[in-house]
Amino acid sequence: MAGILKVDQVQSDSNLSFAIAGSNVAFMNATSLQMAGSNISLGGTNVFTSGKLVTAAQPTGAVLQVVYVPYPGNQTIATSTPTSVISGSITPTSATSKILVSAYFAVHRDGSGNVGYYWPTFLYKTTLGNVLYTLADAALYQAPADGFRQFYACDFLDSPATTSAVTYGITTTRGSSGSATFGQGGNLCLTMMEIAA
């Protein structure tokens, strides 16, 4: 005969786990106000393992991890060889995850004269030649006797399809002459976020 049992409190001896239909289930520890139990499944999907939330159980769009690469110091570049000014790595927890890469930097050209200096700058993945996004593809102009600083930023959503470490970074090269400093005033950083898909 089916029925409904309504109670204000159910308690087991010494905070032992309850057994329902012969299977152990989670219980509340009244002392530490925690839910305990090695594995908890909902709708056939394991959502807790050893008391920790399983990342695969997160909804689409959830941020699974964040890797932030702080200001590494001023990076002065004076070469026509592609050079990385900042980079970092992230290891996806799932091959279906997306990686949202956010880059921000300032570039400064010292000197005098109304001269333009061409500094192509890119967001790259794994190798300097694997360009994902063009951040700066124009000349840096300066006023007479003044330095010139320009700011750039971008967000790029990548689909690496791997659970191996992936490296992202900013690369630049001198397109004409002179030198330029990236990151003056602390304006140089990189953020990588794993997004559940």
Phi-psi region of 183 (alpha: psi -120 to 50; beta: other; left: phi over 0): left
Residue range 117-128, pLDDT digits in tens? 667 888 999 998
Find the distance separating the first CA and the last CA of the chain, reported in whole Å.
45
pLDDT value at residue 22: 46
pLDDT value at residue 186: 86
**Do residues 64 and 55 lie in contact, with contact meaning Cβ atoms separated by under 8 Å?**
yes
Separation CA 1–CA 58 (nearest Å): 39
101 token code pair: 């890469």
pLDDT value at residue 78: 83
Query: Which domains are delineated in the chain?
Result: 13-57 (no CATH), 63-195 (2.60.120.1340)
* CA distances, 29 to each of 17, 35, 145 (Å): 10, 6, 70
**Do residues 108 and 180 lie in contact, with contact meaning Cβ atoms separated by under 8 Å?**
yes
pLDDT value at residue 114: 46
| Residue length of the chain | 197
Residues of the chain whose pLDDT is less than 70? 1-3, 7-57, 110-118, 137-148, 175-177
Output Rg (C-alpha) for the chain, integer angstroms.
26
